[in-house]
Amino acid sequence: MGRLTTHVLDTAKGCPAAGIRIELHRFGNGHDDLVAEAVTNVDGRTEAPMLDGASFKPGEYQLVFHAGDYFDAIGEKLPEPKFLDQVVIRFGISDGQAHYHVPLLLSPFGYSTYRGS
């Protein structure tokens, strides 16, 4: 079966981003359903896949990374409002048997992502 995983790296500090709250939403039939929530561990990863097993289906999804809360928690002094508060990555899953890994490389003023393995 396929699965969806993620991790977050703080590129400004050069380390994993621990303690970031992540939400996973599924879109369909005009609805936005919250299907999973997790918090990154000391390795910047979630303890389990965000989606796997029978719940892992092709479709449109969105990961929401609560970056602003993370920056507050680590004492990053940023102007208000923060340039990045919630980082939203909307993506599609087309293969229900594949592993989709969607990492976030994060700093207070920028981010990037890609489909990893």
Residue boundaries of the structural domains of the chain? 3-113
Rounded to whole angstroms, the Cα distance separating 6 from 100 reads 8
What is the enclosing helix (H) or strand (E) of 67? helix 67-73
| Two tokens, residue 96 | 């229900």
Q: With 90 as the cut, is the pLDDT of residue 28 above it?
A: no
- From 26-35, 65-74, 105-114, the region with the lowest mean pLDDT: 26-35
Is 7 annotated in a binding site? The answer is yes
CB 99 within 8 A of CB 54: no
Chain centroid to CA 61: 11
List of residues 6+ apart from 109 with CB closer than 8 A: 83, 84
Question: Annotated binding residue at 101?
Answer: no
Q: Is the pLDDT of residue 98 over 90?
A: yes
CA distance 113 to 71: 19
The predicted model gives 76-89 an average pLDDT of: 97
Please tell me whether the peptide bond between 81 and the residue prior to it is cis, using omega within 30 degrees of 0. yes
Average pLDDT over every residue of 53-71: 97
What mean pLDDT is predicted for residues 8-34?
95
What is the predicted pLDDT for the residue at 29? Answer: 81
Model pLDDT, residue 34: 97
Overall fold of domain 3-113: Immunoglobulin-like (2.60.40)
- Regarding pTM above 0.85, the answer is yes
Tell whether 45 is in a known binding site. yes
